[in-house]
Structure 1
Amino acid sequence: MTSLSQAQPVPPGPDHTLHPEEQALIQGQTQGQTQVNAVVQKMASAWNAELSLQFGRTARGTVLQRADHQGPLYVQKAFYPEGPDLAQVYLLHPPGGLVSGDRLQITVKCCDDSHALLTTPGAGRVYRARSDRALQHQINTLHVGSGSSIEWLPLETILYPDACTRLDTHVNLTDDARFIGWEITSLGMPNQNLPFATGNLSQTLQITRNERILLRERLQIDDGSRALLDGSAGLRGNPVNGLMVAGPFAMPDKQTTEPLIDALVQQLRQIVDECDALAAVSLTGEFMTIRYLGNQTDQAMKLFVRCWQVIRPQLLGREACEPRIWAT
C-alpha cells in the first residue's frame, strides 16, 4: 500500500493535520489504494469549525460568559481598553483560510445591556477549490439583545481565483439593539495581477429586528453573472468591494432627530469624497450604508475606520477606540 505521505495530494491552500483517529481510519481501509487516496484528500483538507460566544452584563460590566469552540476557531480572552462596559475580542483561525469542504460557523450573542466589538488579527482567505468544487462556507450569526450593541469589524476576505465560496452574515436585533459592521472582499489578487476570472461567490448580509427584515444585501458571482465584475451596473472592473452598515437610526421625534442624521450624512460624505476610489454614503431605511469600490483593501479599511470614528459617538455614545491589533 502507498504510504500516507505519498498518497496525500498537495492542496491548493495550506494543509490541515489529520487527527490520530482519522489516520487510523485511513490506514484501516482495505478496499484499495484509490479509496484510500480519496479519503485522505477529503479529510486532510476540510474542517467543520464552530465558535459560540455569549456576552452578558454583570456588576463588573460586560463579560465573556461562554466561549465554546470546535476545531481551529477560538478566542483567547476579552480585552477592555475602553473600560469594563465593552469587551473587545479577536477571532482566531490558525489555518488562515478556507479550502474545499471547509465550513466555519461563528455565533455571537450579546445578552441585554452588554456590548462587544469583534475583529480579526489578519485577512481571511478562501483558497482555490479542488476539482470536486466542495463548498467553502462561512456563516456568521449575531444576536444582539435589548440595549446591547455588537460591532463586527473584521479585516478583509481575499478570494483566490477559482474559489467556490459562500459567505453569510445574519444579524438579529432585539428592540433597541444597535449594530455597526462591515465586510471587505477582494475578488482575486489584484496585487499579483490574478483576477477572479473563474470561481463562484454567494455573499449575503441580512439584518432583522424581532424577526422582521430591515436590510438585505446579496452579491452573486458565477459563470452566469460574471459580467457584473466589469459592468457599469456591477463592480466596474474593481476587484475590491466593501459595505459598511450602521444603525438602526430611529427617529421617534422627527423634528429633532432628522437634522442630526442629515448632519451626520453630510459629514460622512465629506470623508467619502476624499477617498480616491468609487465610494458613496446613503441612509437606507434606518441604516447608514457606506459602499466602496476600488483596488486596495487597505484603502477600503481606512475609509471605513474613518466613518466608524464619526458614526460611533452618534449611534453608540462612545468615542472611537481602535483595537490594538489593527496597529500591528
Structure 2
Amino acid sequence: MQRPFYPEGPELAHLYLLHPPGGLVSGDALSFDIALGANAGALLTTPGAARIYRAREAATGQHQSVRLSLAAGSSAEWLPMETIVFPGAEARLDTRVDLAADSRFIGWEICCTGLPASGERFARGQLRQSFRLYREGRALLVETLNLDMVDERLYQGRAGLAGQNVSGLMVATLPAPPDDETLEALRSLGPGQQPVLSVTAVDALLLLRYLGPCTQQARGLFESAWRYLRPGVLGRSACAPRIWST
C-alpha cells in the first residue's frame, strides 16, 4: 500500500493498493483483508488493471480474495481498476463486504474475459466469481458467476453474458430507498449505447450492472454514477483519486 493521501481532509483517506507483480499465475493466492474502525473513512483504488494469466497445463488455479469489514459509523469506497482474465486462466475471484448497522459503502468490480484489443477470445479456461454483501451478518446481496468454457452456453446465451467480454457490478447503500428521479437519472447514463446498463433497487440497496465490450466504457459509466451518488451516500462531493488522471 502506498502512503495514504488526504485530498478531502483528515477524515477520509485515499488508499492505493499495489500488487507489484501485476498479475496472478498458476498457484498464486492474493488476499486483501481490510478493516475500518469506528467512524473511519477510506476510498480504496488500484493504480492499474489486475491480470489473471493463463494457467499451466496442470491447471493450477489462481485465487484473489477481498474482505472488507466496516465498523460502526464508517464508510468505504471500493473502486478498483478492472480485472483482466486471460484466455486459459483458472481464476477464482471472491469479494465479501461486512457492514455494521450504520456503515456506508459504494463499490464496483469490472471483469474482462479474454483480450479483446488483441482479438483473443476467452475460448478456454474457467472463471468463478462471487460478490457478497452483508449487514450485521444478514445477506443483502450474493452474486455468483461460474463460467467454464468447456460449455459456452452461459457465455454466449442471452441469459448469461450474451457473448460480451466485459461485465461489471456496482453497489451503493443508500440512506433510504431511491426515488424515481434518482433511478431515472442513473438510467439516463446508458440509453442510446450498445452495451447494457441496468439500474435496480432492493430497498435501500442500489445495484448497477454493465454488460458490454469495453472496460473503459464500463468505468466511465460507473464513475458518472459514483459522482452522482456520493453526496447522498457519504455527504461529500466527488473527489476523484489523483491516480485516475495518470
User: Shorter-chain TM-score: which interval?
Assistant: over 0.9
Moved over 4 A (4+): none
Q: Does 1:146 align with 2:64?
A: no
Aligned counterpart for 2:136 among listed residues 210, 214, 217 = 210
TM-score (norm 2): 0.97
Alignment correspondent of 1:99: 25
Alpha-carbon distance between aligned partners in 2 of 1:299 and 1:154, rounded to the nearest angstrom? 15
One-letter amino acid of the counterpart of residue 199, structure 1: G
RMSD: 1.3
Aligned counterpart for 1:199 among listed residues 101, 111, 125 = 125
One-letter amino acid of the counterpart of residue 111, structure 2: T
Alpha-carbon distance between aligned partners in 2 of 1:225 and 1:287, rounded to the nearest angstrom? 33
Aligned counterpart for 2:158 among listed residues 210, 220, 232 = 232
Alignment correspondent of 1:128: 54
* SS of alignment partner, residue 273 of structure 1: coil
- Aligned residue pairs total 246
Instruction: Work out whether residues 90 and 119 of structure 1, in 8 Å CA contact, stay in contact via their aligned partners in 2.
Output: yes
Answer with 213-222 or 269-278: which moved more.
269-278
TM-score (norm 1): 0.73
Q: Does 1:289 align with 2:207?
A: yes
- Tell me which protein shows more helix as a share of its residues: 1
Where in structure 2 are there 5+ consecutive unaligned residues? Answer: none
1:276 shift after superposition: 3.9
Q: Does 1:159 align with 2:85?
A: yes
Deviation track 1:214-262 (CA, whole Å, cap 9, x = no partner) reads 1111111014653111101111111011111111x344xxxxxx5x533
Deviation track 1:167-207 (CA, whole Å, cap 9, x = no partner) reads 00000001111111111100101111111110001000000
Q: Percent of aligned positions with the same letter in both sequences?
A: 48
Alpha-carbon distance between aligned partners in 1 of 2:159 and 2:212, rounded to the nearest angstrom? 15
Alpha-carbon distance between aligned partners in 1 of 2:231 and 2:76, rounded to the nearest angstrom? 14
Q: Does 1:326 align with 2:227?
A: no
Aligned counterpart for 2:12 among listed residues 86, 91, 100 = 86
Alpha-carbon distance between aligned partners in 2 of 1:314 and 1:172, rounded to the nearest angstrom? 21
Instruction: Please identify the structure whose Cα radius of gyration is greater.
Output: 1
Alpha-carbon distance between aligned partners in 2 of 1:180 and 1:212, rounded to the nearest angstrom? 18
Aligned counterpart for 2:218 among listed residues 281, 297, 300 = 300
* SS of alignment partner, residue 238 of structure 1: coil
1:146 shift after superposition: 1.0
Instruction: Work out whether residues 152 and 180 of structure 1, in 8 Å CA contact, stay in contact via their aligned partners in 2.
Output: yes
* SS of alignment partner, residue 272 of structure 1: coil
Alpha-carbon distance between aligned partners in 1 of 2:200 and 2:184, rounded to the nearest angstrom? 10
Aligned counterpart for 2:111 among listed residues 185, 194, 201 = 185
Q: Does 1:77 align with 2:77?
A: no
Deviation track 1:148-168 (CA, whole Å, cap 9, x = no partner) reads 111000000000001000000
Deviation track 1:77-125 (CA, whole Å, cap 9, x = no partner) reads 1000111110000001110000000000101111110100000000000
Alignment correspondent of 1:312: 230
Alpha-carbon distance between aligned partners in 1 of 2:69 and 2:21, rounded to the nearest angstrom? 26
Aligned counterpart for 2:181 among listed residues 254, 263, 266 = 263
* SS of alignment partner, residue 65 of structure 2: strand
Instruction: Work out whether residues 214 and 285 of structure 1, in 8 Å CA contact, stay in contact via their aligned partners in 2.
Output: no
One-letter amino acid of the counterpart of residue 85, structure 1: E
Where in structure 1 are there 5+ consecutive unaligned residues? Answer: 1-74, 252-257
